[in-house]
């Protein structure tokens, strides 16, 4: 499932996160002026979040912080958010296709299915904001620039479980096991079983209504079921939700 390109607000902001222009007196040099340093662009809807990350990284000689003029040339783009919604997904998708480097996510919380979603949108590394001290941020930036991936241990376990489930499902799509449904699919079917409609599921999961419809349609098509009710009955009978 591809990530949604549909734009919406990020947390409480009215526009997607961008790199605010730094005051002229504090701007760092552009990429070409300091060869050997990793160039970094920071994106955040909340200027307070952005300032916190910038202040952590600015003293480090290994990095150069770029302003909005040069942001798309950054080797590492850091997106700093409270959580993942359609606006964040749209930004991640844009960075994946329009920038020269790779993207890391510094996030407050990741809801159900959010890890798979951001990886589908091109995120190479994830760091929780509560763990985002100077050393961990620098490690994240250097890993991104070196083509490596970084995940907290529990999220790595979640990702491996998800990938394993996809592999088993691909080998035996009609097999009656938990691998028949992804975490996101199971969560959405569970909400259908509780009587929620598309709009309510979208609000509860922070996905767009279009994404919810696509996920539920994928379930019924892949498992050769007639409709949502049939999908819920199938999942309940086989212990999938």
Report if residue 140 sits inside a domain: yes
Give a yes or no: residue 149 inside a domain: yes
Task: Categorize the per-residue pLDDT at 233 as very low, low, confident or very high, splitting at 50, 70 and 90.
Answer: confident
Alpha-carbon Rg for the chain in angstroms? 20
93 and 54 fall within a common domain: yes
Based on the fold, state whether residues 67 and 124 are members of the same structural domain. yes
Model confidence at 156: pLDDT above 90: no
Among 96-100, 116-120, 216-220, the range of highest mean pLDDT: 216-220
Question: Are 149 and 202 in a shared domain?
Answer: no
Residue 99 lies in a domain: yes
For residue 225, being part of any structural domain is answered with yes
Q: What is the pLDDT of residue 149?
A: 85
| Domain identity same for 103 and 59 | yes
The reported pLDDT for the residue numbered 178 is 39
Give the pLDDT confidence score for residue 33 in this predicted structure: 58
Q: What is the pLDDT of residue 167?
A: 52
- For a pLDDT cut of 90, what percent of the chain falls above it? 39
pLDDT score for 199: 93
Residue from 6, 86, 14 nearest 46 by CA: 14
Which structural domain, as residue segments, surrounds residue 90? 38-158
What average pLDDT is seen over the chain?
A: 79
Give burial (CB, 10 Å; 0-12/13-18/19+) of 128.
Answer: middle
On whether the pTM is more than 0.75, the answer is no
134 and 51 in a common domain = yes
9 pLDDT higher than 80: no
pLDDT of residue 223: 84
In percent, the amount of the chain with pLDDT more than 70 equals: 75
- For 84, counting Cβ atoms within 10 Å of its Cβ (0-12 exposed, 13-18 middle, 19+ buried), the class is buried
| Residue 125, CA distances (Å) to 6, 156, 169, 184, 233 in order | 23, 11, 26, 20, 38
Same domain, 153 and 211: no
Tell me what the mean pLDDT of segment 103-120 comes to: 86
Same domain, yes or no, for 148 and 188? no
pLDDT at 18: 52
The domain that holds 196 is classified in CATH as 1.10.10.10
Domain count, the chain: 2
Together in a domain, 137 and 51 = yes
Looking at residue 81, its pLDDT comes to 94
- Asked if residue 8 belongs to a domain, the reply is no
Q: What is the reported pLDDT for 54?
A: 94
pLDDT band of 141, cuts 50, 70, 90:
very high
Q: Which of 140, 115, 7, 19 is nearest to 70 (CA)?
A: 19
128 and 53 in one domain?
Answer: yes
């Amino acid at each position: 499932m591809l990530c949604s390109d549909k734009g919406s607000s990020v947390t409480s902001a009215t526009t997607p996160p961008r790199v605010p222009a730094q005051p002229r007196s504090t701007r760092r040099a552009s990429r070409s002026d300091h060869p050997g340093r990793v160039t970094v662009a920071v994106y955040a809807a909340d200027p307070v979040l952005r300032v916190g990350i910038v202040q952590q990284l600015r003293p480090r000689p290994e990095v150069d912080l770029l302003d909005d003029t040069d942001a798309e040339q950054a080797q590492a783009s850091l997106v700093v958010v409270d959580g993942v919604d359609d606006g964040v997904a749209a930004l991640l998708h844009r960075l994946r296709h329009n920038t020269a480097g790779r993207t890391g996510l510094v996030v407050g919380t990741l809801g159900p299915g959010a890890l798979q979603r951001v990886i589908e949108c091109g995120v190479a590394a994830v760091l929780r904001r509560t763990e985002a001290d100077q050393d961990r941020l620098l490690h994240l930036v250097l890993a991104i620039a070196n083509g490596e991936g970084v995940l907290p241990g529990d999220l790595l376990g979640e990702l491996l479980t998800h990938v394993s489930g996809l592999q088993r499902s691909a080998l035996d799509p009609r097999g009656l096991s938990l691998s028949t449904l992804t975490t996101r699919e199971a969560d959405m079917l569970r909400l259908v079983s509780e009587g929620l409609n598309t709009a309510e599921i979208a609000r509860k999961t922070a996905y767009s209504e279009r994404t919810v419809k696509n996920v539920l349609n994928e379930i019924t098509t892949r498992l050769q079921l007639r409709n949502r009710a049939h999908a819920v009955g199938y999942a309940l009978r086989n212990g999938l939700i």
